[in-house]
Amino acid sequence: MKWNMIIGLPLAALAMTACDRGTGNPAISFSQEVKPILEAHCADCHAPGGTGTEKSGLVLTGYEALMKGTRLGPVVEPGNAISSTLYLVVAGKADRSIRMPHGETQLSEQEVATIEQWIDEGAQDN
């Protein structure tokens, strides 16, 4: 058997496995899953002219604005939710005084998990 077959087949199988979340499910969709969460819980304050945007510079009405982040820098580190401010503040893993959304119903565990998984999957504009 040729060496390229011995090495190539396992590498191809590994690459195909890495393309999904390990559950056989497609990646979390920004437009179908993440954006509706942000619109429901965050866009009132984090839209142009909103109090959250005025204070931080963060606009959460679309992918490009989200990825731009705040005046201090990005809030999403693609591939690393635990290092992403967006995840930390909606999951309650940051100081309680900055838990988002302020004064509103918190995101459900499923909504937080969706954002976490989307970021861990690379925060794609899909």
Listed in sequence order, the DSSP H helices in 19-62 are 35-41, 51-56
Listed in sequence order, the DSSP H helices in 19-91 are 35-41, 51-56, 63-68, 85-90
Rounded CA separation 11/89 (Å): 38
For residue 98, tell me if it sits in a domain.
Answer: yes
For residue 125, tell me if it sits in a domain.
Answer: no
Give the count of domains, the chain.
Answer: 1
Per-residue confidence at 23, pLDDT binned at 50, 70, 90?
low
pLDDT per residue over 42-64, tens digit each? 999 999 999 999 999 999 999 99
Model pTM score = 0.79
Query: Which domain does 60 fall in, by range?
Result: 27-120
For residue 16, tell me if it sits in a domain.
Answer: no
For residue 7, tell me if it sits in a domain.
Answer: no
For residue 8, tell me if it sits in a domain.
Answer: no
What single-letter DSSP state applies at residue 73? B
User: CA dihedral defined by 54, 95, 72, 120, rounded to 10 degrees?
Assistant: -110
For residue 13, tell me if it sits in a domain.
Answer: no
Strand partners, 73: 70
